[in-house]
């Protein structure tokens, strides 16, 4: 079945460092890909998405490109801030309303000043 | 921004007891979901609900689980006879016409089964 694999955490960085969180997927068809973020004490929030190959999703300085040839959707940010400390989840879904999101395990990012 | 609200934030129960987890989705949303995350594991899909019926469910969602939208605003998950392995964080989510493209999640209910 469809699945998502993302790098194990925790990831610990200093402020202004470059961030990459790797995510690869296995899916039949052409899924949509997502990054969700969970800040402490809050629910998961959609960070960015891409719905077809070569699309780049971006938000709040984060970006990820849908790479069909490598089945990847790596999350990057050029300069992280302390406020980016959170758990990041890669996910995929089929392209129908009401269909399940399939999540990775989540990667904890901790940024220190 | 509108929110999905879940209550309680923590629930402790004895094995074999029934629990009901409550959610108030965003008011004009059409699709409703339950997910769970066992500590250290993936966020797993349980069930989706649309037009007052289940539209999709996972193999986790067996006869011990049920969902209901009793009054047009609440969305509940009932576990009839809890097991130790039901201990997890349970997330409710809802989405509007965009459907799968953007889910709004609640902050979760941590269920501990003793």
Q: Are strands B109-113 and B10-13 parallel, antiparallel or unpaired?
A: parallel
Check whether B1 has a pLDDT greater than 80: no
pLDDT band with cut points at 50, 70 and 90 for residue A1: confident
Say what the pLDDT of residue B92 is.
Answer: 96
Say what the pLDDT of residue A97 is.
Answer: 63
pLDDT band with cut points at 50, 70 and 90 for residue A21: very high
Residues 6+ apart with CB under 8 A from B65: B46, B47, B77, B78, B79, B80
Query: Does the distance separating the beta carbons of A105 and B103 come in below 8 Å?
Result: no
Q: Considering only CA atoms, which of B26, B93, B108, B79 is closest in space to residue A100?
A: B93
The mean of the pLDDT values for chain B is 92
Query: CB burial class (10 A; 0-12, 13-18, 19+) of residue A95?
Result: middle
Chain B within 8 Å of A41 (Cβ-Cβ)? yes
Q: Cβ of B17: how many Cβ atoms within 10 Å? A: 12
Check whether A95 has a pLDDT greater than 70: no
pLDDT digits (tens, 9 = 90+) for B2-28: 789 999 999 999 999 999 999 999 998
Tell me the chain B residues in contact with residue A27 when contact means C-beta distances shorter than 8 Å: none
For an interface test with A, the pick among B6, B43, B108 (most A C-beta atoms closer than 10 Å) comes out as B43
Tell me the chain A residues in contact with residue B5 when contact means C-beta distances shorter than 8 Å: none
Query: Does the distance separating the beta carbons of A96 and B48 come in below 8 Å?
Result: no
pLDDT digits (tens, 9 = 90+) for A32-73: 999 999 998 888 899 999 999 999 999 999 999 999 999 999
């Amino acid at each position: 079945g469809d699945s998502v694999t993302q790098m194990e955490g925790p990831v610990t960085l200093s402020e202004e460092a470059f961030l990459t969180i790797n995510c690869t997927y296995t899916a039949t068809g052409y899924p949509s890909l997502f990054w969700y973020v969970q800040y402490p004490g809050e629910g998961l929030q959609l960070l960015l998405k891409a719905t077809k190959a070569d699309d780049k999703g971006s938000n709040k300085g984060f970006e990820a490109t849908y790479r069909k040839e490598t089945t990847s959707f790596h999350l990057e940010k050029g300069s992280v801030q302390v406020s980016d400390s959170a758990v990041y989840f890669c996910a995929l879904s089929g392209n129908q309303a009401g269909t399940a999101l399939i999540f990775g395990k989540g990667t904890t990012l901790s940024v220190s000043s | 921004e509108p929110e999905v609200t879940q209550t309680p934030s923590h629930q402790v129960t004895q094995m074999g007891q029934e629990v009901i987890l409550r959610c108030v989705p965003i008011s004009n949303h059409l699709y409703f979901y339950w997910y769970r995350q066992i500590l250290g594991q993936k966020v797993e899909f349980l069930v989706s609900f649309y037009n007052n019926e289940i539209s999709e469910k996972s193999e986790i969602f067996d006869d011990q689980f049920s969902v209901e939208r009793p009054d047009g605003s609440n969305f509940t998950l009932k576990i009839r006879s809890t097991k130790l392995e039901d201990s997890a964080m349970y997330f409710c989510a809802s989405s509007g016409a965009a459907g799968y493209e953007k889910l709004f999640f609640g902050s979760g209910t941590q269920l501990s089964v003793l």
